[in-house]
Amino acid sequence: MTGSLDSPACRQVLRELVADDRLARAAWSRLAEPGEDAATALVAEWGAGPAIDVLAGSDRREHAGYRGRLVAADPRPELDLLHRMGGRLVCPGDDEWPAGLDVLAKPPFALRVRGALDLAQACTRSVAVVGSRMATPYGEHVTAELADGVVSRGFTVVSGAAFGIDAAAHRAALRARGLTVAVLAGGVDRSYPQAHEQLLREVIDLGVVMSEVPLGSVPMRHRFIERNRMIATMTLGTVVVEAEVRSGALSTARKAADNGRPVGVVPGPVTSPTSAGCHQALRDGYATVVTDAAEVAELVGRIGADAAPRPSGPAHAQWDELDDVARRVLEALPRSTGRPAEKVALVAGLGPEPTRAALGRLALLRLAERHGAGWRLMPRRKRAGP
């Protein structure tokens, strides 16, 4: 699609995007950066396809940037390339969509995914293991022990493929022939960092590499931050092994805690700057000390035991294990059209914070799902395990 928006070719492409929700979602992730308000609002209000139409006719200033990119929005060449690489597009509502992402106020429009695993299944029993790029030998050693231990307990290790703790986590999971998911801030066709080209190839072979930005995208600061919010919510809990006081790993941990996920941190010497962020998280009160894989499993297992697939169990088994808040939220959900979270909170007689956290847990348990701009009960056909 080249030339002006008004050319017949362009108008034809736009019509095709408007008519195809998945194509439109892929287009939106080419138009907008992850987590941008205006694009998120358009898609939430109109749906991805119609929002393209609205955008094309909009003269609002906050839409100008997106409009400027509309002529290059057609995602089909990129998706062809993705498919040729063995990859695929995963959209909300797809079986492979990780339910935990639905808890985000600004969920990704779509994911580019490469790898052998089913992403949603890999996330049903998963833990984020993240930390400093400047990891010490101590940190890398502990990371390897933890990742090996949680993998042997059936958890998927999710991380960001960065130097240091992230890489140690992926490597240990691969060594133990466990499942691992690398969530990238750039495109899934790019090895970032370059030195991890071989590591990422191995993750694709045995696990999943995913990103919400198009192929070819370079990682940028804000993309790392938005990437972290996915790691934090698509997993049952987050463990930080080493982290500086102001660090991406701590932002992941905070995001996980804000969304009702348990956060574990590994303590270390108080003389080590790469443990200072872990100790700060403890002092701030949103994290728990974890010293080995058994403690990690115990920490995230509070949710994990519920979230693990139960193909044979009756539906009320899960119900019995919900806490009171989650039950009230579940009872406040409609069956068909999504109800906004604030409305759910009102119906349940709860505050917005606990309601959002409970919705996140219920999404992980595949009992609730995002629908339009709101939430509804997970349709029965989707409820059973893999």
Number of shown-chain residues binding its own copies (CB under 8 A): 20
DSSP state of 134: T
Task: Please tell me whether residue 294 binds its own copies under the rule CB under 8 A.
Answer: no
For residue 5 the two structure tokens come to 């928006």
Q: How far apart are CA 297 and CA 150, in angstroms?
A: 7
Please tell me the total number of residues recorded for the chain in this structure.
386
Indicate the residue among 29 and 136 with the shorter CB distance to its own copies.
Answer: 136
**φ/ψ of residue 146, rounded to 5:** -65, -45
Minimal distance, residue 283 CB to its own copies, in Å: 5
Is the Cα dihedral 93, 97, 101, 106 positive or negative? negative
Distance of CA 264 to CAs 236, 257, 322, Å? 11, 10, 22
Distance of closest approach, residue 376 Cβ to its own copies, in angstroms: 38
- Cα 66 to its chain centre, rounded Å, is 24
**What mask, x for binding its own copies by CB under 8 A, covers residues 264 to 293?**
--xxxxxx---xx-xx--xx----xx-xx-
* Span from 82-90, 156-164, 262-270, 365-373 in contact with its own copies (CB under 8 A): 262-270
Question: Shortest Cβ distance from residue 260 to its own copies (Å)?
Answer: 20
Q: Which is nearer to its own copies, 233 or 275 (CB)?
A: 275
Nearer to its own copies, 148 or 226 (CB): 148
| Shortest reach from residue 146's CB to its own copies, in Å | 9
Helix residue ranges per DSSP H, 107-136: 119-124
CB-wise, 88 or 302, nearer to its own copies? 302
Residues 109-148 that bind its own copies (CB under 8 A): 138, 141-142
DSSP string, 210-274: EESSPTTPPP-HHHHHHHHHHHHHHSS-EEESS--SS-HHHHHHHHHHHTT--EEE----TT-HH
Going 130 to 133 to 139 to 140, the CA torsion angle's sign is: positive
Report, in Å, the least distance between residue 132 CB and its own copies: 15
Q: Is the CB of 24 or the CB of 144 nearer to its own copies?
A: 144
- Which residue reads 């240990």 in tokens? 172
Supply the minimum distance, in Å, between the C-beta of residue 276 and its own copies: 7
- Residues found near its own copies in the complex (CB under 8 A): 138, 141-142, 266-271, 275-276, 278-279, 282-283, 288-289, 291-292, 295
